[in-house]
Chains A and B, each alone.
Chain A
Amino acid sequence: MKLPFQSTFFMALGLLVAVLAPFGISSKFQLDVLTLIFFTAYLGQSWNILGGYAGQFSFGGVMFFGTGAYTSSILLSSFGLPPIIGIFAAIFMGALLGLVVGYLSFRSGLRGSYFALITLAFAELLRVLANSVEFTGGGVGLFLSYAPGLYNLQFTSPTGFYYFSLILLVISLAIAMWLEHSRFGAQLVAIRENEDAAEALGVDTLKCKIYAIMIMGGMGGAAGTFYAQKYLYIDPPISYSIALSVEMLLVTIVGGMGTVFGPLIGSFVLHTVNEIARHFISTPGLSLIVYGFILIVIISYLPNGLIGLFRKTQKNKEDNDA
């Protein structure tokens, strides 16, 4: 793929700044916020692949995250498998779950709101299951022991997790960029815009949608391992939380669906709003009220998200150069 010089330059610059950031930022707190921004952007990107590019909105995206978190954590606590390998098992299980959910829902022709709701139900189902069976630790949850080291994907300083999240973010951006320049990505967009027409023109819509949800699932799985190793504790409400499902779609919609940098921009803006709000009033719920309003306003007046404000002319130019 060929990228125009200008974009390549700015992306390289951005990456350089991100890599050097820990040397300039002395506050652990700020580094943690950045880590969170990258992590949410990464999860948002996983939602974006199925929701933004392929147009299949999910309300239960957290299910892949939770399944990944349990996979690597159980492998670690019960079998002693180090998370640096466990994360690949988490990716595998996330993708496998995506295959199952995608096959069942898309094959029966579910779209639109029905698909969104069935993913919510799948996430609920898994939460109840995780709560009820023994090998997940049930309602008590799983505690992981603190043993820093690369093979455990645990780090003594916030800088370690910062780089971990940065790597996840860069991978997710690379996947989105590949989509923008590949046949597969174009076919996903075609499905989003008009599924019948896509099918008529030779797009295997069922297969494409299943691949998309599998990519989403694999990405979510890795995020689960990240979370478990960072916080060393997971339980069913955390692993399958509706709030995280909402956050994934929120950052993406606010930033701009179906774009490479939308989830990152959305995550950056929303977390910043959140931190500022927390600075003034520390009552629970306030920032989420603001999020709710932002979501409604964006859906109603800015369907292309914040990125749509200044990207309009840019897009056509880039595509024509490609």
Chain B
Amino acid sequence: MFSVTLSLLPAGIINGLMFGAIYALVALGLTLIYGVLHIINFAHGAMLMLALYSAYFLFKILNIDPYISILIVTPASYVFGYTIYRWGIGRLSGGRDQNILLITLGLSIILENSALFFFTGDQQTISLPYSYESFDLGFLYLSYPKLISFVASLVICVLLWMLMTLTDLGKAIRAVAKERDGARLVGIDVEHVFAVTFGIGVACLGAAGCMLLPIFYVDPYTGNMFVIIAFTIVVLGGMGSIVGALLGGFIIGVTESVGGLLLGESLGQIGISLIFILILIFKPTGIFGSKV
């Protein structure tokens, strides 16, 4: 029994890395928003769920491949994020950080139950023509969707990193993250930059949703499980750290996958909450420090 488990280990690790890349993308959005705006977006999971549904309906109704949908859902998510921050969260915020947490909690309740209301609580999955084709690694077959999602997530992470470090927009965002009052003084439209950042954070979810759909499912509550995962990655990697989010994503992906293998499906989930708690208690600044 134990040797069987052991022989599955490499496959478990690879599988974990595949999901880890998508987790990283989800966490990246969260950590970016936190790093710049210093707010915790509790609706992050619900927004991911929305992206999953968008990709789902684009596939069901217009028959668009989810990997193509990235080009539609990502910009749409950006617009959604920009709008909801500029004319919603940004206006309503102010005061204690817990208030933002509660407002975004309210938002996630609304999104989740709207999905329940309009799309019912049924789990939806899709199958692509190449869903069951796979790539032979020697010790395991890797399905094409997983492989594509993995590579695409990494590409997007790198693009985001380049956006943040190489472009003027990235510089403006980092200036605002560091010194919002100073940035305001030199004429940067801080509210606009905040909304842009929030938009980019949600856009990450748009892309993640498209890549998650072919290898996962969607129902109104899908977001819930991702909230804890994303928060765990973010505290693990250090609030606001892009590299930390990427590494954290892989760590959590592998922990979850290997934990499930060793401890069984049910108890395996314990790893994530446990890591979250231990990190918060013993090293609240994260393992990789924190900065944008």
The answer, yes or no, to whether A7 is at the interface (CB within 8 Å) is no
B257-272 interface with A by 8 A CB criterion: 263-264, 266-267, 269-270, 272
Quick one: given A122-B277, A286-B117, are A132 and B110 in contact (CB under 8 Å)?
Answer: no
Closest to A242 in B: B224
Question: Cβ of A116 and Cβ of B266 under 8 Å apart?
Answer: no
| Total residues of chain A contacting the partner, CB 8 A | 42
**What does DSSP make chain A's interface, helix, strand, loop or mixed?**
helix
Per a CB cutoff under 8 Å, which of A122, A132, A283, A288 touches B266? A132
Question: Cβ of B270 and Cβ of A57 under 8 Å apart?
Answer: no
CB-defined contacts of A276 to chain B, threshold 8 Å: none
B229-258 interface with A by 8 A CB criterion: 231-232
A288 CB, nearest partner CB in chain B, Å: 4
Question: Cβ of A108 and Cβ of B281 under 8 Å apart?
Answer: yes
Question: Cβ of B92 and Cβ of A125 under 8 Å apart?
Answer: no
Closest to A123 in B: B273
The answer, yes or no, to whether A289 is at the interface (CB within 8 Å) is yes
Question: Cβ of B113 and Cβ of A285 under 8 Å apart?
Answer: yes
Binary contact track A70-107/B, C-beta < 8 Å → 1, others 0 = 00000000000000000000000000000000001100
Binary contact track A268-298/B, C-beta < 8 Å → 1, others 0 = 0000000000000001111011011101100
Question: Cβ of B117 and Cβ of A285 under 8 Å apart?
Answer: yes
Question: Cβ of A303 and Cβ of B95 under 8 Å apart?
Answer: yes
Question: Cβ of A292 and Cβ of B267 under 8 Å apart?
Answer: no
A18-61 interface with B by 8 A CB criterion: 57, 59
Per a CB cutoff under 8 Å, which of A116, A138, A286 touches B101? A116
Question: Cβ of A129 and Cβ of B270 under 8 Å apart?
Answer: yes
B86-114 interface with A by 8 A CB criterion: 92, 95-103, 105-110, 112-114
Question: Cβ of A128 and Cβ of B101 under 8 Å apart?
Answer: no
The answer, yes or no, to whether A8 is at the interface (CB within 8 Å) is no
Question: Cβ of A125 and Cβ of B274 under 8 Å apart?
Answer: yes
Quick one: given A114-B280, A285-B116, are A292 and B107 in contact (CB under 8 Å)?
Answer: yes
* A108-B283 Cα distance, complex, nearest whole Å: 9
| Total residues of chain B contacting the partner, CB 8 A | 44
Question: Cβ of B101 and Cβ of A104 under 8 Å apart?
Answer: no
CB-defined contacts of A286 to chain B, threshold 8 Å: 113, 117
* A125-B115 Cα distance, complex, nearest whole Å: 27
Quick one: given A105-B280, A114-B284, are A295 and B269 in contact (CB under 8 Å)?
Answer: no
CB-defined contacts of B98 to chain A, threshold 8 Å: 57, 112-113, 116
A221-268 interface with B by 8 A CB criterion: 242, 246, 249, 253
CB-defined contacts of B228 to chain A, threshold 8 Å: 120-121, 124
The answer, yes or no, to whether A300 is at the interface (CB within 8 Å) is yes
The answer, yes or no, to whether B40 is at the interface (CB within 8 Å) is yes
The answer, yes or no, to whether A208 is at the interface (CB within 8 Å) is no
Question: Cβ of A295 and Cβ of B109 under 8 Å apart?
Answer: yes
The answer, yes or no, to whether A158 is at the interface (CB within 8 Å) is no
Closest to A114 in B: B280
Closest to B120 in A: A284
Closest to A108 in B: B281
* A300-B112 Cα distance, complex, nearest whole Å: 21
The answer, yes or no, to whether B139 is at the interface (CB within 8 Å) is no
* A132-B117 Cα distance, complex, nearest whole Å: 32
Question: Cβ of B266 and Cβ of A295 under 8 Å apart?
Answer: no
A-B contact pairs, 13 of them (CB 8 A): A59-B105, A110-B281, A113-B101, A114-B284, A118-B280, A121-B276, A288-B113, A288-B116, A289-B114, A293-B110, A295-B102, A295-B105, A299-B103
Closest 9 CB pairs of A and B: A292-B109, A285-B116, A292-B110, A285-B113, A295-B106, A132-B267, A296-B106, A285-B117, A288-B113
Question: Which residues of B are interface residues toward A (Cβ below 8 A)?
Answer: 40, 92, 95-103, 105-110, 112-117, 121, 220, 224, 228, 231-232, 263-264, 266-267, 269-270, 272-274, 276-277, 280-282, 284
